[in-house]
Amino acid sequence: MQATAEIQAAGSPRRSQKHQMLKDKQVKDLIVDKRRLVEVPYTATLADTINTLMANKVVAVPVAAPPGHWIGAGGSMILESDKQTGAVRKHYIGMVTMLDILAHIAGNGYGDDDLHLTKKMMVPISSIIGHCLESLSLWTLSPNTSIVDCMEIFSKGIHRAMVPVNGRSENVVGVELTESASCYRMLTQMDLLRFLNDQQELKAIMSHKVSDKQLQAITDTVFGVTNKAKVIDVIKCMRTAALNAVPIVESCNDITEDHTQLVNGKKRKIVGTFSATDLRGCPVSKMQPLLNLEVLDFLKMLSGAPNTGMRSSWREQVTCHPESSLGEVVEKVVSDNVHRVWVVDEQGLLEGVVSLTDMIRVIRLWYLTEFLQ
């Protein structure tokens, strides 16, 4: 890909100057201000992990274990080593996200017994790695990876990757990867979009409407839950469908509609959003009774609680219209720190959704077509 770009640049000086900045940027340019990796030990309980997520305002953490005793997710060997001696200190065996935690809470056999939830909260975090597909793999990106190649990874639905600092990597056998570094940083889709949002050479694509058929930015199949659904039922639905978030729509009929199942959200009035992240703001000690609340009541309670870092998601919807520009939508996710924007018509009825993955995919494909072909 890079060789092709260089050949075309030689025949088109104007284009070379126009896209040189983005083409030459690398992952290391995105992690300059990133803090040290937030992680949990493999012996941490689920309750400990939720508290760590809440305290650090993150939605996923890698799990660290002593070297030599575990097989890493996806056959990986992601190691942290001493900067001076090179001795391996720990092995990252997987990533746990809020969706994994939701899946564990909503697992088979859930009852209303307080002790049952208490027992679930005391399991070691290493036992729930892989409850959802995303945590079955650990992704790393070299600091020297180009932004264009980084966009390719994140455009395929990978939400985050670990970036080694002062590290080295090698392929050992097949897909097995050995990565060793003195420390790591976490790079996310949001980090990448914040960067892309500031790039002048992307202004042309940012002016396109999200409804542009050539872009295909809108996912028009949207499953949601009704405003009468209980939190525990919403969690079960999200676990079954592997969804990180669902729109909350007005119930068509409070009596006859099944509020325990996902519903087709298309052309329904959206009144809120429930995401895996919302559970992070729920104190572990108070979680059991709150799981039986209706989902909107749960969100109202959390939005009024101190130190949760929650926006009033039950009241302030992050939406756009089909005629909105891609730039407007990207600005919404960056400024509101959300991972999707619901597309609604003039009556506020759902038309679809534009996710971070959709945005990165559209921007990348346009850039490749415009400059690198």
Is residue 73 scored above 90 in pLDDT? no
Report how far residue 281's alpha carbon sits from residue 297's, in angstroms, rounded to the nearest whole number. 14
β-partners of residue 320 are 343
What pTM does this model have?
0.85
| Position 30 pLDDT exceeds 60 | yes
- Rounded Cα–Cα distance for residues 61 and 50 (Å): 10
pLDDT 10s digits, 241-267: 889 999 999 999 888 899 999 999 999
Categorize the per-residue pLDDT at 373 as very low, low, confident or very high, splitting at 50, 70 and 90: low
The single-letter code of the amino acid at 219 is: T
Residues 88-118: tens digit of each pLDDT: 888 898 899 888 888 888 765 444 444 477 8
At residue 74, the pLDDT reads 58
CB atoms within 10 A of CB 323: 10
